[in-house]
Structure 1
Amino acid sequence: MAMEKFGASERFACHVLGQNRSALRKKKTPMSFDEAQLRADLRAVASKHPTWGWRKARWHLLATERWNDTVLNSKRIRRLWREEGLVCKPKRRKKRRTGPDAGEQKRLTAEYPMHVLSFDFQSDVTSCGRHIRFFNVIDEYTRTALAIIPRRSFKAADVVAVLEDIIAETGIQPTFVRCDNGPEFTADALVDWCNTVGVSTAFIDPGSPWQNGFIESFNAQFRREQLSGEIMDTMVEAKYLADEWKDIYNHERPHGSLDGLTPSRFWDEWVRENQLAIA
C-alpha cells in the first residue's frame, strides 16, 4: 500500500515499516477443507462443553466417526484451540494439606467394575431458595456414574432403594461401598442391608473427605460443568439436568485417567477383554 501510494521502492518501504521483504512476497496458504472442518468441530465441542479443554476435545473427536481414522496431533489441536480463542479458564490450584494427617492414606483400590462403589450427597438450591440434595453414586474402577438422584431429603431407606436399583440395572452386586460417616450412611437400615446382601462397607475417617477422592472429584465436576451454569426452578428440572449430565459424563465426556475413553466405553472394553475370566 505504501509503495502504491507514495511510489516508494520495495526496499525503502520495507525498511521504513520494519518489515522483512520476504514477507511481502510470501502468499498465505489457503486453508484446506479438513482444516476448516476441524476448526468448526472444535468450536462446536467448545460451544456444547464450555468447561472442556483441548485434550478432552481431541479425545472426543477421535471417538467420532469423522475423525477416528485421522491422526489428530496433540500439538496441532492445541494450536488450533488457541487460535480459535477457545482457551478455558485454568483451574484454581488447590493448596497442599499440611499437618500430621496430611500423608497418603492407605485405602482399598478397585480392581474391576462394581468392585468398589463410592457415594455421597451434594447440596444445591432451586431458584426459590429451597434446599435440594443430589445422591451421587459412581463405580471407582470405570468412573461410571451409576446414579444422580435429586430430592429434597434422603433417608437411609432411600439410599438402600437406589443401591438396589443399581444392582437390578447392572446385574452385578458390588463388593464394597465407600462413603463418609453421615447419618444416612451409618443408620441401621443401610448397615443391615449391607450385612444381608453381603456387601462390605469402607467408611472413611471422620473429617477426611480426601479419602473418598473419586466421588469428591465427581461432585466437583458435576458442580463445575452443570450446576454452576444452570438455574433449577423445580424438582423436575433438577432431575432432567442430572440425567442429562449423567448421560454426557458416561457416554460423551472423555476421562483422562481412562486414556481418553468414556466410562461406558472403558467398561465395555474391559468386559470384552475379560470375557473368559468372567465366564
Structure 2
Amino acid sequence: MNKIADRYPRFGYRRVHALLVADGWEVNVKRVERLWRREGLRVPPPRSKASGQKALGTDAHSLWMLPATSQGHVWSYDFMSLRTAKGAGLRVLNVIDEFTRICVGAHVGYSIGATEVRHVLERIFEDHGRPQMIRSDNGREFIAASLLNWLKDDQGVAPVQVAKASPQQNGFIERFNGSMRDELLNREVFHSLAEARVVIGQWVEHYNHERPHSGLQMRTPIGYAAYIATQPSLSTAPCERGE
C-alpha cells in the first residue's frame, strides 16, 4: 500500500485497494482504509472553485507600486506545499520582511487555515514586532474576513492583496519560496511533520544568517539589517536595489 501511495501520491485508498486486488491481494476496502489512516496517508481534497469571497487585490498593491522603504514597513507571506515520503501533504506558511529579506517565520503544518494563520502571526508579532503592512495574494486564507478584521482592527496592520493571478506583484515572497524549493525541498525527503519542521527551521536560520543574497549587495539578510542600522539615511526601496 505504501509503495503504491509513493508512486501515485494523488490516489486515494479506494483506488489503491483496487490496485492491490488487481495484484492478487485478498483484502477488503475497509481494511485498506484502516491501514491508510493509521499510516497517515491522505490526498488533499480538491479546492472549491468558489472561495466564498471575491478577490480583493489590485495592481496598486504590487511591490513596485507599493514598495517597502524600511525594515518593518512591508512584510509578505505565502504558502508552499510538499509531501512526506508516505504521501502525507504538508503546507509551509512563509513570512518575510521585504526590505531586509529576513524570514521572520516559516510554519509547517498539515492544514493551515485562516485561524491558524492568525495564531502564527500572533507568535511572529511577539518576536519581531508588527509591520505597517502585510502583502499577500488572494488565497482564501488571506482574504478571510476574520483575519483581515483582526489585522486591521486589533493589530493596526494594513493587509494588502496583489491583483488576482499576478504572483509577480508579490515577487519577494515568490523569490524566497523559489529558493526554499530549489535549495531544500527538492533535495530532501521528509518522513514526518516533526522532521520537516526541524529541517526547514534550520534552513531558514541558514538563509537569514549565512546565505549571501544577490539583492542585498551579497550580504545576508541579518547582515543587511545590521548594515542599514548604521546608515539611517538609507531608504532605497528593495525593488530598486535589484534581485
TM-score class, shorter-chain normalisation, is 0.5 to 0.7
Is residue 188 of structure 1 aligned with residue 145 of structure 2? yes
Is residue 263 of structure 1 aligned with residue 227 of structure 2? no
> What are the equivalent positions in structure 2 for 1:177-256 lying under 5 Å apart?
177-196=134-153, 197-256=155-214
Residue aligning to 1:149: 107
> What are the equivalent positions in structure 2 for 1:81-230 lying under 5 Å apart?
106-170=64-128, 172-196=129-153, 197-230=155-188
C-alpha deviation, 1:112, in angstroms: 0.6
> What are the equivalent positions in structure 2 for 1:13-32 lying under 5 Å apart?
none
C-alpha deviation, 1:273, in angstroms: 3.1
> What SS is found at the alignment partner of 2:151?
helix
C-alpha deviation, 1:105, in angstroms: 7.8
State the one-letter code of the partner of 2:66.
Answer: L
C-alpha deviation, 1:106, in angstroms: 4.7
Distance in 2 separating the partners of 1:105 and 1:120? 14
C-alpha deviation, 1:185, in angstroms: 0.5
C-alpha deviation, 1:107, in angstroms: 2.1
> What SS is found at the alignment partner of 1:186?
coil
Residue aligning to 1:32: none
Distance in 2 separating the partners of 1:179 and 1:240? 25
Residue aligning to 1:79: none
Q: Which runs of 5 or more structure 2 residues have no equivalent in the other structure?
A: 1-58, 234-243
Larger radius of gyration: 1
State the one-letter code of the partner of 1:173.
Answer: R
Distance in 2 separating the partners of 1:233 and 1:106? 40
Distance in 2 separating the partners of 1:127 and 1:106? 39
State the one-letter code of the partner of 2:133.
Answer: F
Question: What's the TM-score once normalised by structure 1's chain length?
Answer: 0.59
> With CA pairs under 8 Å and 6+ residues apart, which has the higher RCO, 1 or 2?
2
Question: What's the TM-score once normalised by structure 2's chain length?
Answer: 0.68
Distance in 1 separating the partners of 2:77 and 2:222? 18
Q: Tell me if the contact between 2:95 and 2:173 (Cα under 8 Å) persists in the aligned partners.
A: yes
> What SS is found at the alignment partner of 2:76?
strand
State the one-letter code of the partner of 1:189.
Answer: S
* Coordinate RMSD, CA, aligned: 1.8
Give the count of matched residue pairs: 172
Distance in 2 separating the partners of 1:119 and 1:218? 10
Q: Tell me if the contact between 2:152 and 2:159 (Cα under 8 Å) persists in the aligned partners.
A: no
CA offsets per residue over residues 6-35 of structure 1, 9 Å max, x none?
xxxxxxxxxxxxxxxxxxxxxxxxxxxxxx
Distance in 2 separating the partners of 1:165 and 1:189? 17
Q: Tell me if the contact between 2:63 and 2:171 (Cα under 8 Å) persists in the aligned partners.
A: no
CA offsets per residue over residues 173-223 of structure 1, 9 Å max, x none?
201110011111011221111122211122011111111100111111000
Distance in 2 separating the partners of 1:274 and 1:167? 24
Distance in 2 separating the partners of 1:167 and 1:250? 18
CA offsets per residue over residues 82-117 of structure 1, 9 Å max, x none?
xxxxxxxxxxxxxxxxxxx9xx98521001111101
Distance in 1 separating the partners of 2:130 and 2:229? 16
Report the identity percentage: 38
Which structure features the higher share of helix residues? 1
> What are the equivalent positions in structure 2 for 1:52-71 lying under 5 Å apart?
none
CA offsets per residue over residues 48-87 of structure 1, 9 Å max, x none?
xxxxxxxxxxxxxxxxxxxxxxxxxxxxxxxxxxxxxxxx
C-alpha deviation, 1:272, in angstroms: 3.3
Counterparts in 2 of 1:105 and 1:179: CA distance versus 1, 3 Å: closer
